A and B are shown apart, each in its own frame.
Chain A
Amino acid sequence: MTERLRQTARRLLEEGKVKVVIGYGASRPSAAAPPVFITRPDDAGKLEWNDRCFANLAVYLTRKEVKALGKAAVVVKGCDERALVVLEKESQVDRSALYVIGMACDGVGAPKCAGCQVHLPRFADEVIGEAAPPVAAEPGPNGLKRLMARSPAERWAFWNTEFARCVKCYACRQVCPLCYCERCIADKNRPVVIDTSATPKGNFAWHITRAFHLAARCIGCGECTRACPAGIPLGLLNQSLAQATEAKFGYRPGMDPQAEPVFGAWSPTDKEDFIR
């Protein structure tokens, strides 16, 4: 697969179809594959494909520096591709000005890949490799089920201990393909919306904001959890919102390009049993 990927990249660059190929590069054994930006056909050999290609490269497509490179080809897995669907819906990427190289993927590692339903990219310009059909996973990840089985007070205590380790490095934000605001609300200081210090107060405010700004948008790539240097299971918050989104609106972000996004639309029939 790596060889075919390199050939494709070389061809695209030689033919001048794209100016840059965004893919995965070589790393030390056991380390995550870093991103590489290939602009010359001769460098196509630097591309790699292995079971450490965790990152969601769609994150770079909205960055100004990358946009300045010109038309891009991007290497995506099935899960990463869901982010492309959402980004296109939100007018953040122009799909026609993008070449998508889809990689068939049987999973790059648990827990990130548990319950994955998109082993094969569905909208790529070119799909490399073959993947086993997704196994029907039980609905809802186990970690979330265990958490929700506890009492609210226990959940509160759980998040208190988890967030206590947060150092506000914002890796969760930087790694997320859908956190693309040029100026994040966490960086705004007139007025301060979210306390910038890594205190319990500031951490709760930040994680509530991060999770809810991704509500009905998060595609569940699990990069936030993987990127967190403190090992906070941030994905649980996103998963719980994704579950609620599917239960209440039957919507799964990034799955169906024709589906109407939950936010930005409304219906007079929305259930309001909690409003008196």
Chain B
Amino acid sequence: MSEAIAMSFEPKIIAYVCNWCTYLGADLAGTNRLEYPPNVRILRLPCTGRIDFNLIVKAFEMGADAVLVSGCHPGDCHYTAGNYHARRRWMLFRSLLETLGIETERVQFTWISAAEGKKFQQVIAEITEKTRALGPYTAYQGLCVGQASACPEATK
């Protein structure tokens, strides 16, 4: 990747967050005026247990360079065990990504509580920098080239 592209490249990060912890953590970061990179698009879901792996695939299809999945710490789930169920799924999902050769560092998982506005800020800053170093996810976006309606960002 040439330096010029590296300079102009702004990673696009999709964050799937749970309604009860991480979304409130992001809210706290906002009310505390903690600044974090504007590269992240936050999507709120009821629970990490609801975050289907298809949503992660969809994010890449639509031009995401990295995906963050975040929810309540273990033991803190609003629905008692949604995050435990989700954790099991991700444990196996990551091995499928590895087999397919999908870059696992582009799918990040964290637990961020409603009190961890600071952690939210740090996580977003870190993922943005990491993704900037990795460069655009052209491998997956390349699958979508020529399919304008389904993948508007990647075809630009």
Q: Which residues of A contact B (CB under 8 A)?
A: 144, 147-148, 151-159, 185, 193-195, 199-201, 204-205, 208-209, 211-212, 215-216, 236-237, 240-241, 243-245, 248, 262-263, 265-268, 270-272, 274-276
Contact = CB atoms under 8 A, between A and B. Distances in A.
B87 A205 contact: no
A155 B100 contact: yes
A241 B89 CA distance: 11
A158 B101 CA distance: 9
Q: Which label, helix, strand, loop or mixed, suits the secondary structure of the B interface?
A: helix
Contacts of B75: 268
Contacts of A148: 98-99
Interface in B59-111: 61, 74-75, 81, 84-85, 87-96, 98-103, 108-111
4 nearest A-B pairs in the assembled complex, by CB-CB distance: A156-B101, A155-B101, A266-B84, A244-B95
A271 B99 contact: no
B147 interface: yes
Contacts of A204: 57, 100, 140, 143
A236 B139 CA distance: 21
A219 to B, nearest CB: 16
Given A212-B93, A216-B92, A266-B81, A156 B150 contact: no
Contacts of A194: 54
12 contacts: A154-B101, A155-B98, A156-B100, A157-B101, A215-B92, A244-B95, A245-B92, A263-B85, A263-B88, A274-B91, A275-B109, A276-B123
Q: What range describes how many residues of B lie at the interface?
A: 35 or more
A195 B143 CA distance: 12
Main secondary structure of the interface of A (DSSP, over half): helix
A266 B85 contact: yes
Contact of A267 (B84, B94, B100, B123): B84
A2 to B, nearest CB: 40
A159 B96 contact: no
Given A156-B139, A201-B151, A237-B96, A266 B109 contact: no
A248 B98 contact: no
B47 interface: no
